[in-house]
Amino acid sequence: MAKILIVEDDVAFCQMLETFLTKKGYEVNASHTGNDALAKIKSNNYDIVLTDVRLPDRDGNEILQILKEEHPGTKVILMTGYAEVNLAVDAIKTGAFDYISKPINPEKMLQVVKSALENEEDQVTDKPTKSQKEISKRKVEGSYVAGVSDASKKLSDYIKLVAPTNMSVLIIGDSGTGKEYVAKNIHDQSKRAKETFIAVDCGAIPKEIASSEFFGHIKGSFTGAVNDKTGHFQAANGGTLFLDEIGNLNYELQVQLLRALQERKIKPVGSNQEINVDIRVIAATNEDLKKAVENGDFREDLYHRLNEFSIQVPALRKRKDDLMLFADHFLEKANEELERDVVGFSDEALELLHSYSWPGNLREMQNTIKRSVLLATGKIIDVDALPMQMQTETKEEESYSLFKNKNEQELILDALEQANGNKSKAARILSIDRKTLYNKLKQYDIKL
Torsion angle in degrees (nearest 10) through CA of 54, 55, 58, 61: -40
Is the C-alpha dihedral spanning 411, 414, 418, 422 positive or negative? positive
What is the average pLDDT across 345-364?
A: 90
Please report the pLDDT score of residue 160 as a whole number.
94
Cβ(383)–Cβ(349) under 8 Å? yes
Please report the pLDDT score of residue 394 as a whole number.
40
The residue among 15 and 158 whose pLDDT is bigger is 158
Please report the pLDDT score of residue 276 as a whole number.
93
How many Å apart are CA 304 and CA 317, to the nearest integer? 30
Please report the pLDDT score of residue 119 as a whole number.
67
- 3-class DSSP state of 29: strand
Would you tell me the crossing angle of helices 323-338 and 361-375 to the nearest 10 degrees?
50
Cβ(90)–Cβ(110) under 8 Å? no
How many Å apart are CA 136 and CA 176, to the nearest integer? 30
pLDDT(138) > 60: no
* C-alpha atoms less than 13 angstroms from C-alpha of 188 in its C-beta half-sphere: 10
Domains observed in the chain: 3-136 (3.40.50.2300), 150-312 (3.40.50.300), 318-393 (1.10.8.60), 396-448 (1.10.10)
CA proximity to 318, closest of 165, 174, 136, 162: 174
What is the average pLDDT across 335-363?
A: 90
What is the average pLDDT across 177-181?
A: 93
Instruction: Quickly state the pLDDT bin for 141 (edges 50, 70, 90).
Output: very low
Is the C-alpha dihedral spanning 130, 133, 138, 142 positive or negative? negative
What is the average pLDDT across 406-420?
A: 79
What is the chain's mean pLDDT, rounded?
83
- For the chain, helix (H) and strand (E) counts, in that order, are 20, 14
| Cβ neighbour number for residue 194 with a 10 Å cutoff | 9
How many Å apart are CA 195 and CA 207, to the nearest integer? 29
Name the phi and psi angles at 309, rounded to 5. -150, 130
- 3-class DSSP state of 116: helix
Which H or E run includes 89?
A: helix 85-93
The share of the chain scoring above pLDDT 90, in percent, equals 40
Cβ(90)–Cβ(344) under 8 Å? no
How many Å apart are CA 30 and CA 11, to the nearest integer? 9
| Strand order through the sheet with 3-7 | 27-31, 3-7, 48-52, 75-80, 98-101
How many Å apart are CA 188 and CA 146, to the nearest integer? 13
Is the C-alpha dihedral spanning 441, 442, 447, 448 positive or negative? positive
Each residue of 193-218: pLDDT tens digit? Answer: 999 999 998 887 888 888 888 998 88
pLDDT(323) > 50: yes
How many Å apart are CA 426 and CA 417, to the nearest integer? 8
pLDDT(143) > 70: no
Instruction: Quickly state the pLDDT bin for 86 (edges 50, 70, 90).
Output: low
Each residue of 273-285: pLDDT tens digit? Answer: 899 999 999 999 9
Beta strands in 261-347 (DSSP E): 265-266, 275-276, 280-285, 309-312, 344-345
Each residue of 365-397: pLDDT tens digit? Answer: 999 999 999 999 889 999 999 998 887 764 444
- 3-class DSSP state of 105: coil
Cβ(299)–Cβ(255) under 8 Å? yes
User: CA Rg, the chain, in Å?
Assistant: 26
